[in-house]
Every structure is written in C-alpha cells, then in structure tokens.
Amino acid sequence: MKLNLRMTGKILGASAKSKATKLIASKFARYVNNIRKVKVHIDDVPSKLHGTLTQCSIEVLLPGLPSIVVKAKGKDFAQAIKRAVTNSETVLTQKL
C-alpha cells in the first residue's frame, strides 16, 4: 500500500505527517492486501459560519474495483483526517 499525503496552503510538519501515516496504516491494516494506493489531500476551505475549516479528501485505489473517494471537514488537521479515515474505513468495509 502506497501513501501519497499532500497539503495545500501550509507546510505539513514531520510529526503531523507521521501521525497521519500511523493513523491511516492502523485503520487500513485489515485491507492492506486489497489496497493499491491511498491519496490524501488536505486543504483549507472557507465557511460562512465557522471561518476557515480544514477539508481532508481521501482516495483509495482498489485493484479491479472503482476507487473510493471520501471528503470530511474539521476545525483542524487532526479532526478532519480522523473523520475522513473513519468514513473511508466504513465505505471500504461495505465494498469488500
């Protein structure tokens, strides 16, 4: 399983990158044989009610099946990535 993690607008630190990698690896450990690649894109999105929110988009590429794309928003990097990983794990469980 390859992991592609990128963030626009800000620089992603080494500690945040390692935490995200560990979280994704632990959540997708059951499906590691069925996943070809995981693409994670983090971006700041303006919101009328809450100011600026962080949006995490996860694309899971599966061999022989359509890829799974999940987007989630949060008030910070950690919350957004946790929500997106949890939602993508749920979708992945349904697909496989």
In this prediction the pTM is 0.86
Beta bridge partners of 65: none
User: Domain coordinates of the chain in residue numbers?
Assistant: 2-95
The tens digit of pLDDT for each residue in 23-43 reads: 999 999 998 888 999 999 999
Scan for tokens 């995981």, then name that residue: 38
* 44-80 tens-digit pLDDT: 888 888 888 999 999 999 998 899 999 999 998 889 9
Provide the CATH topology of domain 2-95: Double Stranded RNA Binding Domain (3.30.160)
Query: Which long-range contacts does 20-26 make (Cβ < 8 Å, 24+ apart)?
Result: 20/77, 20/81, 23/81, 23/82, 23/85, 24/85, 25/1
